[in-house]
Structure formats: C-alpha cells, structure tokens
Amino acid sequence: MKTVNVDLGKRSYPIHIGSGILDRSDLFQAHVRGSQVVVITNDTVSELYGERLVETINSVARTHIHTLPDGEKYKNLNAVSQIFDRLLSIPCDRRTTLVALGGGVIGDITGFAAACYLRGIPYIHVPTTLLAQVDSSIGGKTGVNHPLGKNMIGAIHQPLCVISDTRVLGTLPQRELRAGLAEVIKYGFIRDLKFFEWLENSHQSLLACDPASLSYAVEQSSRNKAEVVHEDEYESGIRAILNFGHTFGHAIEAFSRYEDYLHGEAVAIGMSMAAEFSRRLQQLSKAQAEQSIQLIKNCALPIDPPASMTPEDFHQFMSRDKKVDSGRIRFITLHQIGQAKITSSYSPEILRETIEHCIPWCSEVRAK
Ligand SMILES: NC(=O)c1ccc[n+]([C@@H]2O[C@H](COP(=O)([O-])OP(=O)(O)OC[C@H]3O[C@@H](n4cnc5c(N)ncnc54)[C@H](O)[C@@H]3O)[C@@H](O)[C@H]2O)c1
C-alpha cells in the first residue's frame, strides 16, 4: 500500500492506495470517529461492494448503509435531504462518520451532506471510479447540481482520509475507465513531465487495466492533486490549473445537455483544444502540441467537438462558465508539456481561429 498526504495543517489527511484495501478494517479503525458509521452509496456500487464494506467497518463501529439511485441526475438537494432524513431517524449525532462509497457523484453528495449535517460531521472517501480516485475525492470540493447549473450548491469540506482500492477498478466499464484517464493525463500536461513521459509508454497497459500500472497512475495523480491543493486549498490562484481543458469541455457538456459525453470525454476534447490554443498563442511549440494531442488519442479519447456545435455555441456556453472573471473567459494554457499557466489576456481572434480549426466542418470550409 502507498500513502500520499494532503498537507493542510490541522485538516491534513492521508490518501491510502492499494489493491484489496477495502477489506482492511485497521485503516477505518485509524480514522473513524464516534461509534456510528453511515455508508452512502448507489444501487450499482452497493451491489458490488456494499456488503463487503459494511462487514469491514462493522468491526470498528456500528455501520448503516444508505443507498441512492445511480446517476448524475440524482446529484441534487433532494438526495441530500434524503440523507438528512435517514441520519435524523437513526439518530446520528455529531460524532457519526459518513463514508462515501462510489464515484464522484456519491463523493460530492456525501461530502456536502457531511458539511451541512449538524453544521459539519466527519466523512471518509472510498472512491470506486478512476476519476474519483485521481481527482474528485481529493481536495474537499463537495456539492450538488441545481436545475440552473452544475455543481452550483456546495462547500469545501475536507475528508478524514481517502481509501483508494485499485482492485475495484476491475469492474468499471471501459468507457468510464477511459474518461478517468483524461484526468490522469491532465496532471502530465499541467505539471509533471516525467509522468507525461511514463504515460506515453504506459497507455496500453492502463487501457488493459493492468493493476500495477493503474496503481502507479493513481498514486502519481493523487500526489499531483495533493500538492496543488496544499498550495491553494480555496482556489484563489494556482488550483485553477486543474481546470486545464475544462473551459472548452464544460461548454461541450452543456451544449450536449450532459447527455452525450462523460465529463472526462468532454475534458479530453477540451484539452486538445487548449493545446491548440496554446500553440496559436505561441506559447507551446507545434511539436509539443501534436505530442499532447497524440497522447489523448492513444488513450482512446475523443479530440473533436460535436459536429453540430458552432463557434457561437462555444462562445455562448463558455461565457456562462463559473471561471469567467469580470466578463473575461480565463483559460489554462501550456508553456510546454508539464507547465501550465492561467491566461486571461489573449486576442479574441486567436481564440476564434482555434475553435474554428478544432471544429472539423469549420476547418474544412476554411480550407476550401
Ligand atoms: N469534487 C470534485 O473535486 C470533483 C472533481 C471532478 C468531478 N467531480 C464530479 O464527479 C462526478 C463524476 O464522477 P464519476 O466520473 O466517478 O461518475 P459516477 O460517480 O457517476 O460513476 C460513474 C458510473 O460508474 C459506476 N461505478 C462506480 N464505481 C464502479 C465500480 N467500481 N464498478 C462498476 N461501476 C462503478 C457508477 O455507479 C456510475 O454508474 C461529476 O458529478 C463531477 O461533477 C467532482
């Protein structure tokens, strides 16, 4: 087992990474507070791992399980309210620990319920998707969607620990695994050249779900995220580089009503657009832009925006993004592979040309 620490003073916590560690009650023993635990999960993950986890934690504290329906569409205040109903009826006091067993959706809901219940109770993440292990379970961002916007209601509430069992990734659908890989390679692009080079050589074993490669990828990604969160817990500066590819990606997700693309797939397209934008801004060399896009393709991820999306659609959806700063859309761009920067001053013409270049039918029209 490997452990990565998230260093946040009094709110510091470990991320334990290893195969089969879901069964290690000693890990829960070290972190559970109080005499009651409530595991929050969804029906898909509960079926696979619910009983096993309850058995593991039962030797440490009296453990209940609360199962929500599976899906992003249930990541709302109604789910949180249902959790409160359950906690109050058990009843649970301030020294109850919640455990999030699932992907990013369950993690975000559980963390937010923990942030609000009795003005804040402790919780532990047991992430079961690649995306949740390398990204959403680390850093304390919690929240739910509102009908008028994704992740609009939330809080920063750090967990007591993260327990990432890489063996559970074996049951993840391939498409979900690939979507998680998008967030893995993001760390190579934005701050870790050595990891980028390792990914160039290891993408096939990752796609084949090789346990050693997956463990290494989860560990290096967790380390990168932990370091960024340590530097800037509340995203007042450098943490924004984690949004590389996300401004274009969020526009694609919103345009397709969150139906056609998984988050990681939209981010993959967004990262290839951001690499092209960096090249056109003359920050990134042509060779490195091509090398970046090649890695995205090698991970079997998409690079082209939807054929029906126009440059105007991009502009409209990007202007509504949370990352808009006083009317100016901020982008994360690359100086070189392994080094990102926040860019809010750029020529709108270059942005437009980038988008036109990336939309296949636009570039065909321009070429004629
Ligand atoms: N808090 C943050 O910092 C942060 C960062 C990135 C994304 N997010 C959020 O994360 C969410 C996306 O998370 P996700 O990609 O994990 O999606 P998800 O939670 O919907 O999980 C994807 C699917 O995989 C299933 N699943 C989970 N683990 C499984 C396993 N081991 N075997 C088989 N099936 C399994 C789930 O039931 C679901 O159907 C979004 O809501 C996004 O906003 C949050």
Q: What is the DSSP string of 124-152?
A: EEEE-SHHIIIIITSS-EEEEEETTEEEE
Q: Which of 10, 119, 286, 368 is catalytic?
A: 119
pLDDT band with cut points at 50, 70 and 90 for residue 48: very high
Task: Write out the two tokens for 147.
Answer: 């009908």
Q: Which of 263, 279, 323, 330 is catalytic?
A: 263
In angstroms, the CA 333 to CA 243 distance is: 10
Active site (annotated) includes residue 119: yes
Cα–Cα distances (Å) from 318 to 57, 238, 267, 303, 308, in that order, read: 44, 20, 13, 18, 16
pLDDT at 325 over 90: no
The domain containing residue 125 runs over which residues? Answer: 2-170
Q: Which atom of ligand 1 is nearest the CA belonging to 143?
A: 1
94 and 164 part of one domain? yes
Last residue of a domain, one of 135, 170, 205: 170
Is the Cα dihedral 264, 215, 220, 46 positive or negative? Answer: positive
pLDDT at 320 over 90: no
In angstroms, the CA 157 to CA 171 distance is: 29
Active site (annotated) includes residue 335: no
Residue nearest to atom 12 of ligand 1 (CA): 104
291 and 317 part of one domain? yes
Active site (annotated) includes residue 250: yes
Q: Which residue has the tokens 């321009």?
A: 366
- pTM attached to this predicted model: 0.95
Last residue of a domain, one of 129, 148, 170: 170
**Binding site membership of 165 for ligand 1 (Cβ less than 6 Å):** no
Last residue of a domain, one of 118, 148, 170: 170
pLDDT at 328 over 90: no
The confidence score (pLDDT) of residue 322 equals 63
Cα–Cα distances (Å) from 354 to 185, 215, 294, 350, 363, in that order, read: 22, 36, 18, 6, 10
121 and 140 part of one domain? yes
In angstroms, the CA 155 to CA 144 distance is: 10
236 and 318 part of one domain? yes
Domain count of the fold of the chain: 2
Among the listed ranges 71-85, 112-126, 259-273, 354-368, which one has the minimum average pLDDT value? 354-368
pLDDT digits (tens, 9 = 90+) for 156-195: 999 999 999 999 999 999 999 999 999 999 999 999 999 9
